[in-house]
Structure 1
Amino acid sequence: MFRPFGMHPVPLLAGVVVVIVAVQLGNWQLRRAEEKREIGVRIEQYAGATPQVLDSARGVQPPEWSRVVVRGRWLPEAAMYLDNRVLDRRPGYHVLMPLELTDASVVMVNRGWTAAGSDRAILPEVDTSGDEVEVVGRVVVPERDPFSLADQARDGQRWQFIDLDAYRAWSALSPGDWVLQQESEAADGLVRRWADPDLGEDTHRGYALQWYSLAALAAALTGYYVFRSFRKNAA
């Protein structure tokens, strides 16, 4: 086997590959951190902006985290009770309810949190006006649980996670692929205490530091191996 300066090519190539891969992964983590930072900036900008009036939701996809205003009537018979939502150590539900706008298009609204009753077989009643209501909220795009099947999402109106494809099939309604997180107050007894998303910018930077540290270690060990090989060859 050809061994320049007495060096075995396998550890040399392995060291170079580790350095290149670790640097690339570190760069990717930094790009992800920058993407998350930009999302945070957009969230702050939208929070201070005037909500956009949305007269129709048909074929509309507002920017995520933007604030919109809609008017319509609730469809409580097609409500979704999102299970296992804990607030102040109390189990409960997020109540997601379709709002039918004047053009018959539908917006799915997360109206807020309500406590679970002592009998888990009975869903809590939610005070729902039959009149036209105005709702101001923030647009969020739910992530489907990648480890669950569609038929595992629902038990009656009780849902384990938001699956809008399964919801459309179940309800025969056609909300878009986004949910309006209600911010406007209403006398419905629901709690609307929304936390800002944990974007994980610092986590990505921490991972980048780990990858760069691995690249530096691999470079140092490879350099030491080359140095020793040169010395042995020169001796």
Structure 2
Amino acid sequence: MRLRFRFRGIPLLATVVVVAIGIALGNWQTRRAEEKIAVAAQLRERGMQAPIILGAGGGAQQDDRVGTSALRGPAHPTEYRRIRVTGEFVPTWPVFLDNRPHAGRAGFYLAMPFKIAGSDRNVLVLRGWLPRDPREYGRVPDYATPAGTTTVEGIVVAGAGHVMQLGTAAPVKPGAIVQNLEVSDMARASGLRLEPFLVQQTGPQAAGDPIVRDWPAPDTGIAKHRGYAVQWYALAAMAALFFVITGFRSGRKQVE
């Protein structure tokens, strides 16, 4: 039996619209993925650059040494650059960021201000991850803080990451357990002059130190955009295939 295709104007128009939208959105998601690939390459390049040495000399720059003013403003020009800061921790202002799991265990990120040597400014340091006590929800873990002048090495980040806020946000105060923390909130609560970025402290875990510094890699969302692109292209292909199949079915019924 010879196949016969029944051409219908309205279904054709609807199919063209759906296919065009699917292809356009698929192309858009593909471009977004390509942009994120470029961003990931830029971040890798920053990670390989010489570390920034945060000094107290204002805007003076000398080799890889910069003053604190060079890092103020938008975080993105120096985000994910390595950094080295000398000064002292402010041990009276620890804040614990809740709902930060690691290796399948519940825990906190420990955030603490760090006073820059020779300056009246501070930088908020994410010292690492600490496990939660499964027997007592509100109990914070024990940890040690270096006394006196020390040097912290880490990565510049724009924020500590956001999690879903459960209930009313707790006030920022010494020893507080909070869901999320902004530098501006910490500066306002503590009265300290804080740089507008954070430092993810890096380095090996010392013997007996419960603080873990195994930071997750930044998620640029490349896989997500690629997945969305595949879905939109698949929608366009399915719409075209559906039009062809229903056209042949309608043609067969006319013959019968």
Select 1:93's aligned residue among 94, 108, 132: 108
Q: Judging by fraction of residues, say which structure has more helix.
A: 1
Kept in 2, the 8 Å contact 1:153–1:163? The answer is no
Question: CA offsets per residue over residues 171-221 of structure 1, 9 Å max, x none?
Answer: 233434432111134758221112322334233222211211211222344
Select 2:84's aligned residue among 66, 69, 72: 69
Q: Distance in 1 between matches of 2:103 and 2:8?
A: 63
Partner letter of residue 94 of structure 1? Y
Q: Distance in 2 between matches of 1:150 and 1:92?
A: 18
Kept in 2, the 8 Å contact 1:82–1:162? The answer is yes
Q: Distance in 1 between matches of 2:50 and 2:149?
A: 22
What's the secondary structure of 2:231's corresponding residue?
helix
Q: Distance in 2 between matches of 1:7 and 1:229?
A: 10
Stretches of structure 1 lacking an aligned partner (at least 5 in a row): 231-235
Residues 229/175 of structure 1: CA separation in 2 closer, same or farther (3 Å cut): farther
2:155 is matched with: 138
TM-aligned CA deviation for residue 63 of structure 1: 2.1
Q: Distance in 2 between matches of 1:34 and 1:154?
A: 41
Kept in 1, the 8 Å contact 2:172–2:189? The answer is no
Length, aligned pairs only: 227
Q: TM-score, normalised by structure 1?
A: 0.78
1:125 is matched with: 142
Q: Distance in 1 between matches of 2:242 and 2:171?
A: 54
1:52 is matched with: 52
What's the secondary structure of 1:31's corresponding residue?
helix
Partner letter of residue 128 of structure 1? T
2:61 is matched with: none
Q: Distance in 2 between matches of 1:174 and 1:31?
A: 41
Task: Please state if 1:191 is matched with 2:191.
Answer: no
TM-aligned CA deviation for residue 65 of structure 1: 1.3
TM-aligned CA deviation for residue 35 of structure 1: 2.3
Kept in 2, the 8 Å contact 1:97–1:111? The answer is yes
What's the secondary structure of 1:44's corresponding residue?
helix
Q: Distance in 1 between matches of 2:219 and 2:139?
A: 33
Select 2:236's aligned residue among 212, 215, 227: 215
Partner letter of residue 20 of structure 1? A
Partner letter of residue 168 of structure 1? A
What's the secondary structure of 2:38's corresponding residue?
helix
Kept in 2, the 8 Å contact 1:42–1:65? The answer is no
What's the secondary structure of 1:108's corresponding residue?
strand
Residues 217/95 of structure 1: CA separation in 2 closer, same or farther (3 Å cut): same
TM-aligned CA deviation for residue 131 of structure 1: 1.1
The two structures, once aligned, show a CA RMSD in angstroms of 3.3
Q: Distance in 2 between matches of 1:113 and 1:53?
A: 24
Select 1:83's aligned residue among 73, 86, 98: 98
Partner letter of residue 105 of structure 1? R
